[in-house]
Homo-oligomer: A and B are copies of this chain.
Amino acid sequence: MSELKGACIIGQSGGPTSVINASAYGVIRAALDCPSITAVYGAAHGIKGVLDDKLYDMGQEDAGELKLLLNTPSSELGSCRYKIADPDKDDTDYKRILEIFKKYDVRYFFYNGGNDSMDTCNKISKYMQKVGYECRIMGVPKTIDNDLFGTDHCPGFASAAKYIATSCAEVYKDARVYDTGMVTVIEIMGRHAGWLAGAAALAGVVGCAPDLVYLPEVDFDMDQFLADVDRIYKEKGNCIAAVSEGIHYADGSFVSEAKTSATDGFGHAQLGGLAALLANMVKERTGAKVRGIELSLLQRCGAHVASRTDIDESFLAGKTAVETAVAGETDKMVGFECTRESGKYSCRTKLFDLSQVANFEKKVPLEWINKEGNGVTQAYIDYALPLIQGAAEAPTEQGLPRFARLRKVLAK
Protein backbone atom coordinates (compact mmCIF):
# COMPACT_ATOMS: atom_id res chain seq x y z
CA MET A 1 0.00 0.00 0.00
CA SER A 2 1.48 3.31 -1.05
CA GLU A 3 1.69 6.23 1.26
CA LEU A 4 -1.36 8.50 1.15
CA LYS A 5 -0.60 12.08 2.04
CA GLY A 6 -3.30 14.57 2.90
CA ALA A 7 -5.43 16.17 5.57
CA CYS A 8 -7.80 14.40 7.94
CA ILE A 9 -11.17 15.21 9.44
CA ILE A 10 -12.41 13.96 12.80
CA GLY A 11 -16.11 14.26 13.53
CA GLN A 12 -18.29 13.24 16.47
CA SER A 13 -21.87 12.13 16.26
CA GLY A 14 -24.81 10.82 18.27
CA GLY A 15 -25.35 11.01 22.03
CA PRO A 16 -22.17 11.94 23.86
CA THR A 17 -20.37 9.94 26.54
CA SER A 18 -17.86 10.68 29.30
CA VAL A 19 -14.98 9.47 27.14
CA ILE A 20 -15.86 10.16 23.51
CA ASN A 21 -13.38 13.03 23.68
CA ALA A 22 -10.68 10.59 24.76
CA SER A 23 -11.21 8.85 21.43
CA ALA A 24 -11.19 12.15 19.58
CA TYR A 25 -7.96 13.00 21.36
CA GLY A 26 -6.52 9.65 20.30
CA VAL A 27 -7.28 10.56 16.69
CA ILE A 28 -6.12 14.18 16.96
CA ARG A 29 -2.89 13.44 18.80
CA ALA A 30 -1.89 10.56 16.53
CA ALA A 31 -2.82 12.56 13.42
CA LEU A 32 -0.89 15.65 14.53
CA ASP A 33 2.13 13.44 15.15
CA CYS A 34 1.84 11.61 11.82
CA PRO A 35 4.05 12.78 8.90
CA SER A 36 1.56 11.54 6.27
CA ILE A 37 -1.21 13.73 7.64
CA THR A 38 -0.78 17.31 6.52
CA ALA A 39 -3.55 18.94 8.56
CA VAL A 40 -6.01 17.88 11.25
CA TYR A 41 -9.53 19.29 11.13
CA GLY A 42 -12.31 18.84 13.66
CA ALA A 43 -15.78 18.98 12.12
CA ALA A 44 -18.20 21.17 14.07
CA HIS A 45 -21.23 19.00 14.90
CA GLY A 46 -20.12 15.95 12.99
CA ILE A 47 -21.02 15.55 9.36
CA LYS A 48 -23.00 18.79 9.56
CA GLY A 49 -19.70 20.63 10.01
CA VAL A 50 -18.40 19.09 6.80
CA LEU A 51 -21.55 20.01 4.89
CA ASP A 52 -21.45 23.54 6.33
CA ASP A 53 -17.70 23.95 5.73
CA LYS A 54 -17.21 24.54 9.43
CA LEU A 55 -13.94 22.86 10.34
CA TYR A 56 -11.68 23.68 13.29
CA ASP A 57 -7.94 23.62 12.73
CA MET A 58 -6.67 21.32 15.47
CA GLY A 59 -3.09 22.36 14.76
CA GLN A 60 -3.90 25.71 16.36
CA GLU A 61 -4.73 24.18 19.73
CA ASP A 62 -2.50 24.13 22.78
CA ALA A 63 -1.17 20.60 23.37
CA GLY A 64 -2.01 20.71 27.09
CA GLU A 65 -5.60 21.73 26.43
CA LEU A 66 -5.97 18.97 23.86
CA LYS A 67 -4.76 16.45 26.42
CA LEU A 68 -7.52 17.57 28.80
CA LEU A 69 -9.94 16.03 26.30
CA LEU A 70 -9.12 12.74 28.03
CA ASN A 71 -11.25 13.90 30.98
CA THR A 72 -13.75 16.20 29.28
CA PRO A 73 -17.26 14.75 28.92
CA SER A 74 -19.61 15.26 26.00
CA SER A 75 -18.55 15.74 22.38
CA GLU A 76 -16.21 18.72 22.41
CA LEU A 77 -16.41 19.23 18.66
CA GLY A 78 -20.19 19.16 18.83
CA SER A 79 -22.50 16.37 17.78
CA CYS A 80 -25.45 15.93 15.47
CA ARG A 81 -28.16 13.41 14.77
CA TYR A 82 -28.16 14.10 11.05
CA LYS A 83 -29.15 11.05 9.05
CA ILE A 84 -27.43 11.05 5.70
CA ALA A 85 -29.51 10.02 2.69
CA ASP A 86 -29.09 6.86 0.68
CA PRO A 87 -26.64 7.94 -2.07
CA ASP A 88 -28.60 6.03 -4.70
CA LYS A 89 -31.65 8.13 -3.93
CA ASP A 90 -30.14 11.52 -3.20
CA ASP A 91 -26.45 12.23 -3.57
CA THR A 92 -26.59 15.98 -2.78
CA ASP A 93 -24.83 15.57 0.58
CA TYR A 94 -22.18 13.31 -0.91
CA LYS A 95 -21.34 15.75 -3.67
CA ARG A 96 -20.94 18.45 -1.06
CA ILE A 97 -18.74 16.23 1.11
CA LEU A 98 -16.57 15.44 -1.90
CA GLU A 99 -16.30 19.15 -2.64
CA ILE A 100 -15.13 19.87 0.91
CA PHE A 101 -12.75 16.91 0.90
CA LYS A 102 -11.21 18.24 -2.31
CA LYS A 103 -11.08 21.81 -0.97
CA TYR A 104 -9.01 20.76 2.05
CA ASP A 105 -7.31 17.78 0.38
CA VAL A 106 -8.89 15.46 2.92
CA ARG A 107 -7.64 11.90 2.51
CA TYR A 108 -8.59 10.54 5.92
CA PHE A 109 -11.99 10.69 7.58
CA PHE A 110 -12.50 9.47 11.15
CA TYR A 111 -16.02 9.33 12.52
CA ASN A 112 -16.57 8.92 16.23
CA GLY A 113 -20.03 7.64 17.00
CA GLY A 114 -22.52 4.79 17.36
CA ASN A 115 -24.55 2.70 14.94
CA ASP A 116 -25.76 5.52 12.75
CA SER A 117 -22.27 6.98 12.52
CA MET A 118 -20.84 3.70 11.28
CA ASP A 119 -23.59 3.68 8.67
CA THR A 120 -22.62 7.24 7.67
CA CYS A 121 -18.96 6.19 7.36
CA ASN A 122 -19.92 3.24 5.25
CA LYS A 123 -22.05 5.27 2.85
CA ILE A 124 -19.44 8.01 2.44
CA SER A 125 -16.75 5.44 1.80
CA LYS A 126 -18.78 3.63 -0.84
CA TYR A 127 -19.52 6.93 -2.57
CA MET A 128 -15.88 8.03 -2.59
CA GLN A 129 -14.91 4.68 -4.10
CA LYS A 130 -17.60 5.04 -6.73
CA VAL A 131 -16.40 8.46 -7.82
CA GLY A 132 -12.75 7.41 -7.58
CA TYR A 133 -11.66 9.82 -4.85
CA GLU A 134 -8.95 8.18 -2.78
CA CYS A 135 -9.81 8.49 0.88
CA ARG A 136 -9.52 6.22 3.88
CA ILE A 137 -12.48 6.13 6.21
CA MET A 138 -12.48 4.67 9.71
CA GLY A 139 -15.12 4.44 12.40
CA VAL A 140 -14.19 5.05 16.03
CA PRO A 141 -16.96 3.64 18.17
CA LYS A 142 -18.65 5.22 21.14
CA THR A 143 -21.89 4.45 22.85
CA ILE A 144 -22.91 4.09 26.46
CA ASP A 145 -25.51 1.64 25.14
CA ASN A 146 -22.76 -0.89 24.32
CA ASP A 147 -24.82 -2.21 21.47
CA LEU A 148 -22.34 -2.22 18.57
CA PHE A 149 -21.83 -5.46 16.73
CA GLY A 150 -18.59 -7.44 16.82
CA THR A 151 -16.56 -5.54 19.37
CA ASP A 152 -16.31 -6.99 22.89
CA HIS A 153 -17.61 -3.71 24.25
CA CYS A 154 -17.93 -0.05 23.23
CA PRO A 155 -15.94 2.94 24.49
CA GLY A 156 -18.20 4.92 26.78
CA PHE A 157 -20.15 1.99 28.18
CA ALA A 158 -17.76 1.29 31.04
CA SER A 159 -17.70 4.84 32.37
CA ALA A 160 -21.47 5.03 32.37
CA ALA A 161 -21.55 1.60 34.01
CA LYS A 162 -19.13 2.78 36.68
CA TYR A 163 -21.24 5.88 37.31
CA ILE A 164 -24.35 3.71 37.61
CA ALA A 165 -22.78 1.12 39.91
CA THR A 166 -21.20 3.80 42.11
CA SER A 167 -24.45 5.74 42.35
CA CYS A 168 -26.43 2.57 43.08
CA ALA A 169 -24.00 1.66 45.87
CA GLU A 170 -24.38 5.12 47.40
CA VAL A 171 -28.15 5.13 47.06
CA TYR A 172 -28.21 1.66 48.62
CA LYS A 173 -26.73 3.18 51.77
CA ASP A 174 -29.00 6.21 51.74
CA ALA A 175 -32.23 4.41 50.93
CA ARG A 176 -32.18 2.22 54.04
CA VAL A 177 -31.17 4.75 56.65
CA TYR A 178 -34.48 5.12 58.44
CA ASP A 179 -36.22 2.71 60.74
CA THR A 180 -39.15 3.01 58.38
CA GLY A 181 -38.60 1.34 55.01
CA MET A 182 -38.58 2.66 51.49
CA VAL A 183 -38.90 1.39 47.94
CA THR A 184 -36.52 3.05 45.50
CA VAL A 185 -36.79 2.79 41.73
CA ILE A 186 -33.72 3.81 39.74
CA GLU A 187 -34.20 4.51 36.05
CA ILE A 188 -31.25 3.84 33.78
CA MET A 189 -30.68 4.63 30.10
CA GLY A 190 -30.88 1.99 27.38
CA ARG A 191 -33.85 2.00 25.06
CA HIS A 192 -33.29 -1.36 23.40
CA ALA A 193 -30.39 -3.05 25.20
CA GLY A 194 -29.99 -3.61 28.93
CA TRP A 195 -26.21 -3.37 29.22
CA LEU A 196 -26.44 -0.23 31.35
CA ALA A 197 -29.30 -1.38 33.57
CA GLY A 198 -27.30 -4.53 34.25
CA ALA A 199 -24.48 -2.35 35.57
CA ALA A 200 -26.60 -1.58 38.63
CA ALA A 201 -25.91 -5.16 39.69
CA LEU A 202 -22.16 -4.45 39.80
CA ALA A 203 -22.81 -2.66 43.10
CA GLY A 204 -23.28 -6.14 44.52
CA VAL A 205 -19.52 -6.59 44.33
CA VAL A 206 -19.25 -4.20 47.27
CA GLY A 207 -22.32 -5.56 49.02
CA CYS A 208 -24.78 -2.97 47.72
CA ALA A 209 -26.71 -4.86 45.05
CA PRO A 210 -30.14 -3.66 44.03
CA ASP A 211 -32.81 -6.25 44.80
CA LEU A 212 -34.26 -6.25 41.31
CA VAL A 213 -32.93 -5.36 37.86
CA TYR A 214 -35.16 -5.19 34.77
CA LEU A 215 -33.71 -5.22 31.26
CA PRO A 216 -35.50 -4.57 27.97
CA GLU A 217 -34.34 -7.92 26.60
CA VAL A 218 -37.24 -9.60 28.42
CA ASP A 219 -40.88 -8.53 28.44
CA PHE A 220 -41.98 -6.60 31.50
CA ASP A 221 -44.96 -7.74 33.52
CA MET A 222 -46.32 -5.01 35.79
CA ASP A 223 -48.16 -7.41 38.11
CA GLN A 224 -45.05 -9.54 38.52
CA PHE A 225 -42.96 -6.41 39.18
CA LEU A 226 -45.36 -5.19 41.86
CA ALA A 227 -45.46 -8.65 43.41
CA ASP A 228 -41.63 -8.86 43.39
CA VAL A 229 -41.29 -5.47 45.05
CA ASP A 230 -44.02 -6.20 47.58
CA ARG A 231 -42.45 -9.50 48.58
CA ILE A 232 -38.98 -8.02 49.05
CA TYR A 233 -40.28 -4.94 50.83
CA LYS A 234 -42.17 -7.17 53.28
CA GLU A 235 -39.16 -9.45 53.79
CA LYS A 236 -36.45 -6.81 54.18
CA GLY A 237 -38.30 -3.58 54.91
CA ASN A 238 -36.59 -2.03 51.89
CA CYS A 239 -36.40 -2.63 48.19
CA ILE A 240 -34.30 -1.14 45.41
CA ALA A 241 -35.27 -1.84 41.82
CA ALA A 242 -33.15 -0.76 38.85
CA VAL A 243 -35.04 -0.47 35.58
CA SER A 244 -34.00 0.18 32.04
CA GLU A 245 -35.87 3.06 30.41
CA GLY A 246 -36.63 0.64 27.60
CA ILE A 247 -38.65 -1.94 29.50
CA HIS A 248 -41.76 -2.84 27.57
CA TYR A 249 -44.77 -5.08 27.78
CA ALA A 250 -45.13 -8.25 25.75
CA ASP A 251 -46.95 -6.30 23.04
CA GLY A 252 -43.85 -4.14 22.58
CA SER A 253 -45.27 -0.94 24.07
CA PHE A 254 -42.90 0.90 26.39
CA VAL A 255 -43.88 0.95 30.06
CA SER A 256 -42.75 4.58 30.17
CA GLU A 257 -45.34 5.54 27.59
CA ALA A 258 -48.16 3.55 29.07
CA LYS A 259 -51.24 5.35 30.14
CA THR A 260 -51.94 4.37 33.70
CA SER A 261 -55.20 4.72 35.50
CA ALA A 262 -53.53 4.12 38.84
CA THR A 263 -52.77 7.75 39.52
CA ASP A 264 -54.96 9.64 37.20
CA GLY A 265 -58.42 8.58 36.19
CA PHE A 266 -58.15 10.40 32.91
CA GLY A 267 -55.26 8.35 31.56
CA HIS A 268 -52.87 11.22 31.02
CA ALA A 269 -49.31 10.34 30.23
CA GLN A 270 -47.05 10.94 33.17
CA LEU A 271 -44.50 13.69 32.90
CA GLY A 272 -41.84 12.52 35.27
CA GLY A 273 -40.61 9.50 33.44
CA LEU A 274 -40.55 5.83 34.23
CA ALA A 275 -39.02 5.93 37.72
CA ALA A 276 -41.73 8.26 39.00
CA LEU A 277 -44.42 6.21 37.32
CA LEU A 278 -43.24 2.90 38.79
CA ALA A 279 -42.60 4.42 42.20
CA ASN A 280 -46.14 5.68 42.23
CA MET A 281 -47.54 2.30 41.21
CA VAL A 282 -45.60 0.70 44.06
CA LYS A 283 -46.90 3.28 46.50
CA GLU A 284 -50.47 2.50 45.55
CA ARG A 285 -49.88 -1.23 45.84
CA THR A 286 -47.75 -1.47 48.98
CA GLY A 287 -48.35 1.80 50.79
CA ALA A 288 -44.58 2.07 51.14
CA LYS A 289 -42.69 5.30 51.08
CA VAL A 290 -41.23 5.46 47.58
CA ARG A 291 -38.58 7.36 45.69
CA GLY A 292 -38.04 7.41 41.94
CA ILE A 293 -34.58 8.38 40.77
CA GLU A 294 -33.74 8.99 37.12
CA LEU A 295 -30.01 9.00 36.42
CA SER A 296 -30.76 11.03 33.30
CA LEU A 297 -27.88 12.77 31.53
CA LEU A 298 -25.71 12.44 34.63
CA GLN A 299 -24.84 8.83 33.79
CA ARG A 300 -23.42 9.67 30.40
CA CYS A 301 -21.46 12.81 31.37
CA GLY A 302 -20.10 11.80 34.81
CA ALA A 303 -16.47 12.09 33.72
CA HIS A 304 -15.28 12.67 37.29
CA VAL A 305 -15.99 9.00 37.99
CA ALA A 306 -15.05 7.63 34.57
CA SER A 307 -13.31 4.27 34.29
CA ARG A 308 -9.55 4.58 33.69
CA THR A 309 -9.76 1.40 31.61
CA ASP A 310 -12.42 3.07 29.46
CA ILE A 311 -10.41 6.28 29.07
CA ASP A 312 -7.30 4.37 28.02
CA GLU A 313 -9.16 2.11 25.62
CA SER A 314 -11.11 5.00 24.11
CA PHE A 315 -7.87 6.85 23.45
CA LEU A 316 -6.37 3.67 22.00
CA ALA A 317 -9.30 3.20 19.63
CA GLY A 318 -8.81 6.70 18.21
CA LYS A 319 -5.06 6.33 17.93
CA THR A 320 -5.38 2.92 16.27
CA ALA A 321 -7.83 4.31 13.72
CA VAL A 322 -5.20 6.79 12.55
CA GLU A 323 -2.32 4.33 12.60
CA THR A 324 -4.14 1.62 10.69
CA ALA A 325 -5.59 4.09 8.16
CA VAL A 326 -2.15 5.50 7.47
CA ALA A 327 -0.93 1.93 7.08
CA GLY A 328 -3.56 1.39 4.39
CA GLU A 329 -6.79 0.29 6.06
CA THR A 330 -10.16 1.74 5.19
CA ASP A 331 -13.86 0.96 5.72
CA LYS A 332 -13.22 -0.42 9.18
CA MET A 333 -14.36 0.25 12.71
CA VAL A 334 -11.79 -0.11 15.50
CA GLY A 335 -13.23 -2.43 18.11
CA PHE A 336 -11.90 -4.59 20.90
CA GLU A 337 -11.15 -8.24 21.37
CA CYS A 338 -10.81 -9.20 25.02
CA THR A 339 -10.05 -12.18 27.16
CA ARG A 340 -11.08 -12.66 30.78
CA GLU A 341 -9.47 -15.98 31.52
CA SER A 342 -8.96 -16.84 35.19
CA GLY A 343 -10.05 -13.34 36.12
CA LYS A 344 -7.27 -11.74 34.11
CA TYR A 345 -8.53 -9.16 31.66
CA SER A 346 -6.70 -8.26 28.51
CA CYS A 347 -7.85 -6.15 25.60
CA ARG A 348 -6.49 -5.51 22.14
CA THR A 349 -7.88 -3.60 19.21
CA LYS A 350 -9.42 -5.41 16.27
CA LEU A 351 -10.78 -4.05 13.01
CA PHE A 352 -14.34 -4.78 11.93
CA ASP A 353 -15.87 -4.19 8.51
CA LEU A 354 -18.09 -1.12 8.61
CA SER A 355 -20.70 -2.86 6.52
CA GLN A 356 -20.97 -5.57 9.17
CA VAL A 357 -21.23 -3.17 12.07
CA ALA A 358 -23.67 -0.59 10.76
CA ASN A 359 -27.27 -0.76 11.89
CA PHE A 360 -27.08 -3.89 13.97
CA GLU A 361 -27.90 -3.77 17.69
CA LYS A 362 -26.17 -6.13 20.09
CA LYS A 363 -28.26 -7.03 23.11
CA VAL A 364 -27.50 -8.67 26.43
CA PRO A 365 -27.51 -12.46 25.87
CA LEU A 366 -30.66 -13.96 27.35
CA GLU A 367 -28.60 -16.52 29.25
CA TRP A 368 -27.04 -13.61 31.21
CA ILE A 369 -30.47 -12.71 32.58
CA ASN A 370 -31.92 -14.79 35.42
CA LYS A 371 -34.91 -16.98 34.75
CA GLU A 372 -37.22 -14.72 36.75
CA GLY A 373 -36.29 -11.87 34.41
CA ASN A 374 -35.45 -9.59 37.32
CA GLY A 375 -31.68 -9.73 37.53
CA VAL A 376 -28.43 -10.55 35.75
CA THR A 377 -26.25 -13.61 36.25
CA GLN A 378 -22.60 -13.87 37.28
CA ALA A 379 -21.65 -14.06 33.58
CA TYR A 380 -22.73 -10.43 33.19
CA ILE A 381 -20.70 -9.39 36.23
CA ASP A 382 -17.64 -11.25 34.95
CA TYR A 383 -18.04 -9.50 31.62
CA ALA A 384 -18.55 -5.94 32.88
CA LEU A 385 -16.49 -5.73 36.06
CA PRO A 386 -13.03 -5.61 34.42
CA LEU A 387 -14.18 -2.68 32.28
CA ILE A 388 -14.85 -0.32 35.19
CA GLN A 389 -11.43 -0.68 36.83
CA GLY A 390 -9.18 2.27 37.55
CA ALA A 391 -9.88 5.85 38.56
CA ALA A 392 -10.27 8.76 36.16
CA GLU A 393 -7.87 10.98 38.11
CA ALA A 394 -9.28 13.93 36.24
CA PRO A 395 -7.54 17.29 36.64
CA THR A 396 -9.38 19.82 38.79
CA GLU A 397 -9.30 23.56 39.28
CA GLN A 398 -10.50 25.02 42.56
CA GLY A 399 -12.09 21.70 43.46
CA LEU A 400 -14.03 21.35 40.21
CA PRO A 401 -13.39 19.52 36.93
CA ARG A 402 -10.96 21.30 34.63
CA PHE A 403 -12.23 20.56 31.15
CA ALA A 404 -10.40 21.26 27.90
CA ARG A 405 -10.82 24.81 26.64
CA LEU A 406 -10.22 24.70 22.92
CA ARG A 407 -9.73 27.77 20.76
CA LYS A 408 -11.73 26.29 17.88
CA VAL A 409 -10.10 28.35 15.14
CA LEU A 410 -11.97 27.86 11.86
CA ALA A 411 -9.91 26.44 9.02
CA LYS A 412 -9.55 28.64 5.97
Contact = CB atoms under 8 A, between A and B. Distances in A.
A120 interface: no
A305 B400 CA distance: 10
A80 to B, nearest CB: 5
A45 B167 CA distance: 23
Interface stretch (A30-38, A189-197, A205-213): A205-213
Contacts of A165: 399-400
A381 to B, nearest CB: 10
B16 A166 contact: no
Given A79-B177, A80-B178, A301-B173, A272 B276 contact: yes
Residue among A16, A174, A178 with most chain B CB within 10 A? A174
A293 B275 CA distance: 12
A207 B68 CA distance: 15
A390 B396 CA distance: 9
Contact of A79 (B178, B206, B264, B296): B178
Nearest to A16: B177
Interface stretch (A55-63, A88-96, A332-340, A401-409): A401-409
Given A165-B399, A165-B400, A175-B297, 10 more contacts: A16-B177, A74-B177, A75-B177, A169-B403, A202-B400, A206-B400, A266-B266, A271-B276, A291-B296, A293-B297
23 contacts: A48-B179, A74-B173, A78-B177, A80-B178, A165-B399, A166-B401, A167-B302, A169-B403, A170-B298, A170-B302, A170-B401, A174-B297, A175-B297, A203-B400, A206-B397, A270-B272, A272-B273, A272-B292, A293-B294, A294-B296, A298-B298, A385-B399, A388-B399
Interface of A: 16, 45, 48, 72-76, 78-81, 162, 165-167, 169-171, 173-179, 184, 202-203, 205-208, 263-264, 266, 268, 270-273, 276-277, 280, 291-298, 300-305, 307, 385, 388-391, 396-403, 405
